[in-house]
Amino acid sequence: MKELAQYKDYKRIAVMGGSFNPIHNGHLVAAEVVRQEFGIERVIFIPTGNASHKKSDPMYNEHRYLMTVLATAANPNFEVSRMEIDRAGKSYTIDTIGELRKQCDDDCEIYFITGADAIDEILTWKDPEKLLSMCRFVAVTRPGYDKTRLKATIDTINTKYKGNVEFLEIPALSISSTDVRNRVAVGKTIKYIVPEPVESYILKFGLYGGRPSALKTDDINKKLLAVLTPKRFKHTRGVAQEAVRLAKRYGADTEKAYIAGLLHDCAKCYTDKEKIALCEKYNVPLDDILFKQPDLVHSFLGAALAKAEYGIEDEDIINAIAYHTTGRKDMSLLEKIIYIADYIEPNREAFDGLEEIRKLAYEDIDKAVEFSLENTIGYNVNKKRIIHPLSMEALEYYREGNNEKQ
């Protein structure tokens, strides 16, 4: 096993410093291109701690560090150091280089990679002249920063301050962490701007005010208000809130539960004619049963609309919408939560057995599913409606499962 943070074997290492809030493909391209051009054996990404020149939020330190690990994990020449994150008090580059120096052989060259904007600020860092004597710098081009000016800055630093700064033109990526944060906050995609695991991480933890879906709930609400009747909208919000309560009870993702709840009836208030046209538009197959029982169409159509018109990509959310009326066997936890939340949300008009199911929902969700399926099927049989085979299969499945439990 290779040891971490041991640089004795290396002749050339580089530090890639930054707040990495979050790390993006611009950072990775800069590090990789410098690595190859300068024959560097190891690039050490060092997320800043409490930088003196930049306000940092300690809450985000761990997230920034972990995202940097995720982004660099696949590159055998990259590693990440906690050196600055873990340093008490203010953190300065000169201390970092000093610490690294102790871990290297005397003849090891240490490089520091910076973008065009950062090199501009270098003279404001702590002990700039000493720092410039301790390591080499590579200043890479960055869109939005003038190349000629960058070269002039480098010249000044090298002549006036005896620096060792090199210029390197790299493929232009007009990406910044600020832009990534702004995009996430308004629900814009960051795919191909940050590495995939970083994207998932940001969405998973709701960093930067983001949501697991492409659209923020405010936008979803606005759109729903336009296509649902007031009564249906109220029901929808009730389901979303009940779904969150159930998600908390069973340890499911509350954000997903909220969104699936909000969207479960998004196709409900279109006329039959509109529903058929939308099914054609979005390739939702209409089988015989759906033709005879048009009320069932809204679930499957709703799933397609959630994808196409509300930007939902999460398959679990899509399935929870698709099967919220019929149910199906072996539902995921989220599917069961939406199925039940729809049944018991606080605005539901009272019916026989409602209170019992409300209680059961929080004791044993599988039993609540069986109970609801039984009730729904019974109700529809009385009304002489066709029962969808998915519901019959589901009832059988949960009945067997629950019997086995006892």
Residue 405 Cβ vs ligand ATP, minimum distance, rounded to whole Å: 52
Per CB under 6 A, contacts with ligand ATP among 43-82 are none
Per CB under 6 A, contacts with ligand ATP among 12-41 are 18-21, 26-27, 30
Tell me how far apart the alpha carbons of residues 59 and 40 are, in angstroms, rounded to a whole number.
33
Q: Is 382 helix (H, G, I), strand (E, B) or coil?
A: helix
Q: Is 109 helix (H, G, I), strand (E, B) or coil?
A: strand
Residue 26 or 195 with smaller CB distance to ligand ATP: 26
Tell me how far apart the alpha carbons of residues 401 and 93 are, in angstroms, rounded to a whole number.
61
Determine, following the binding rule CB under 6 A, whether residue 177 of this chain makes contact with ligand ATP.
Answer: yes
Among 13, 14, 118, 243, binds ligand ATP (CB under 6 A): 118
Determine, following the binding rule CB under 6 A, whether residue 194 of this chain makes contact with ligand ATP.
Answer: no
Residue 19 or 326 with smaller CB distance to ligand ATP: 19
Residue 43 Cβ vs ligand ATP, minimum distance, rounded to whole Å: 12
Tell me how far apart the alpha carbons of residues 85 and 62 are, in angstroms, rounded to a whole number.
8
Tell me how far apart the alpha carbons of residues 71 and 171 are, in angstroms, rounded to a whole number.
19
How remote is the C-alpha of 210 from its chain's centroid? Answer: 7
Residue 328 Cβ vs ligand ATP, minimum distance, rounded to whole Å: 45
Token pair of 238 as six digits? 């009730």
Determine, following the binding rule CB under 6 A, whether residue 327 of this chain makes contact with ligand ATP.
Answer: no
The backbone torsions φ and ψ at residue 113, rounded to the nearest 5 degrees and listed phi first, read -95, 130
Among 71, 132, 175, 360, binds ligand ATP (CB under 6 A): 175
- 3-state SS, 245-273, equals HHHHHHCCCHHHHHHHHHHCCCCCCCCHH
Residue 133 Cβ vs ligand ATP, minimum distance, rounded to whole Å: 20
Q: Which residues on adjacent β-strands are paired with residue 146?
A: none
Determine, following the binding rule CB under 6 A, whether residue 115 of this chain makes contact with ligand ATP.
Answer: yes
Residue 16 or 278 with smaller CB distance to ligand ATP: 16
Tell me how far apart the alpha carbons of residues 362 and 250 are, in angstroms, rounded to a whole number.
8
- 63 conformational bin, left if phi > 0, alpha if psi -120 to 50, beta if neither: alpha
Residue 31 Cβ vs ligand ATP, minimum distance, rounded to whole Å: 8
Residue 144 or 353 with smaller CB distance to ligand ATP: 144
- Extract the runs of DSSP E, i.e. beta strands, from 41-89: 42-47, 50-51, 78-80
Closest-by-Cβ residue to ligand ATP is 115
Residue 189 or 229 with smaller CB distance to ligand ATP: 189
Alpha carbon of 326 to those of 110, 170, 313, 316, 319: distances in Å?
A: 64, 55, 22, 16, 11
Contacts of range 192-196, beta carbons closer than 8 Å, 24 or more positions apart: 192/25, 193/24, 193/25, 194/22, 194/23, 194/24, 194/25, 194/71, 195/23, 195/25, 195/28, 195/70, 195/71
Residue 37 Cβ vs ligand ATP, minimum distance, rounded to whole Å: 14
Number of residues that bind ligand ATP (CB under 6 A): 18
Residue 27 Cβ vs ligand ATP, minimum distance, rounded to whole Å: 5
Among 142, 264, 268, 324, binds ligand ATP (CB under 6 A): 142
Residue 175 or 321 with smaller CB distance to ligand ATP: 175
Tell me how far apart the alpha carbons of residues 345 and 237 are, in angstroms, rounded to a whole number.
9
Residue 115 Cβ vs ligand ATP, minimum distance, rounded to whole Å: 2
Residue 53 Cβ vs ligand ATP, minimum distance, rounded to whole Å: 11
Residue 199 or 335 with smaller CB distance to ligand ATP: 199
Where does this chain bind ligand ATP (CB under 6 A)? 18-21, 26-27, 30, 114-115, 117-118, 140, 142, 173, 175-178
